Amino acid sequence: MKTTDLLGCVGGAASLLMASTLIPFVGPFFSLLTPLPFLYYSTRLGLFEGIKLAAIAVAIIGLIAHFAGYPQITLLAFEFSLIGIGLSELFRRNFSLGYTIFFAVLFMLLLGLTLLFIIGLSRNMGPIEMILNYLGSHLNATIEAYEKANVADQNAIELKAYAKAFMATITQIYPSLMIVGTGFALWLNVVIAKPLFKLRNLEYPDFIPMDRWQAPDNLVWGLIVAGFALFLSSGNIEFLAINTLIVISAIYLFHGLAIVVFFLNKYKVPTWIRFGIYFLIMVQQLFFAVLILAGLFDQWVDFRKIHRRAANNST
């Protein structure tokens, strides 16, 4: 392990973590990429050297965070370092893209819940209770800020009603939000790692091209079962059905997005038009529904002719 490796890992991870705290609005997006430096150096140096480098880097970042007045960053650095090392090991095993994301999400969720459980022991709270209390405290702080700004009584009442409805909704769907958010963060790291690895001549897994990825065919049965359970049951089964539907819909959303990217690549659409299309997808929820339906029906319609080509090649 060279000094330049240590400086690169510490500098990259610390910059991304500090950006999440110091840069408004887009700052948290940078923190999602914090596993990248640990993934890169663990792949380049090997598992044991990667663990040693990560341990020293987290210790240094912890000291910097302590003197900067952001001690909570240390825990994030520790969690993201383990995620980066875990991703590097998944890369070495050459799983498919779907299994890589699946195992990474499972590992990250178990790690996050374990850390929350350990922290919650000192506060006599469970992991889920901590998450909901954290969101509730932020909502209450926002309401108090509006009240101190002399907002009209009617607006303050409406704001409290919206906050109550928001918390009621979050209480019902927080597991799926955690899974989808974790999956997106890990997918982002896997995607951005590819050009980084190619630039540094590191071996990158032989994943199927992103524009040809598709959800498992059997996933539709999960959607059907969850849909029936949602309308025909209540209580815990309804809670499970809602969250299952959200997770499966998110998977089909990425399937639909892969279809869009396939045709953008096929017709060599200019970059500025691509950004316009992606922007419309992000701001207009109707496109989300269109992409989910496209991903769902692709296994029958075969928009990209993937199944047809596979059948022709097999014959």
DSSP alpha helix (H) spans, the chain: 3-22, 27-31, 35-45, 47-68, 72-92, 97-121, 127-148, 153-199, 219-232, 236-266, 271-283, 285-301, 306-314
pLDDT at position 150 is 59
Residue 282 inside a domain? The answer is yes
Burial status of residue 134 (CB atoms within 10 A of its CB: 0-12, 13-18, 19 or more): exposed
The sign of the torsion formed by the CA atoms of 136, 141, 144, 150 equals: negative
Residue 156 included in any domain: no
Q: Give the pLDDT confidence score for residue 137 in this predicted structure.
A: 72
Q: Look at residue 283 and tell me if it is in a domain.
A: yes
Within-domain flag for 284:
yes
As for how many domains the chain has, the answer is 1
Distance of alpha carbon 228 from alpha carbon 297, whole angstroms: 19
pTM, whole model, 2 decimals? 0.84
Per-residue pLDDT of the chain (315 residues; tens, 9 = 90+): 688 888 888 888 888 888 777 776 667 778 889 999 999 999 999 889 999 999 999 999 989 888 877 777 888 888 899 999 999 999 999 888 889 999 999 998 888 888 878 877 777 777 777 777 776 776 666 666 666 665 555 666 677 777 777 777 888 888 898 899 899 999 999 999 999 999 989 999 988 888 889 998 899 999 989 888 888 777 788 889 999 999 999 999 999 999 999 999 988 889 899 989 888 888 888 889 999 999 999 988 888 888 766 666 655
DSSP string of 248-278?
Answer: HHHHHHHHHHHHHHHHHHHTT--HHHHHHHH
Tell me what pLDDT residue 83 has.
Answer: 93
**Is 13 domain-assigned?**
no
Rounded Cα gap, residues 116 and 129, in angstroms: 10
Full residue range of the structural domain in which residue 271 is found: 208-307
The pLDDT score that the predictor gives to residue 17 is 83
Asked whether 83 and 75 are in contact (CB, 8 A), the reply is no
Quick check: is 271 in a domain? yes
Cα–Cα nearest to 243, from 296, 180, 183, 294? 180
- Position 38 scores a pLDDT of 94
Residue at 290 is within a domain = yes
Q: What is the pLDDT of residue 234?
A: 73
Q: Is residue 134 part of a domain?
A: no
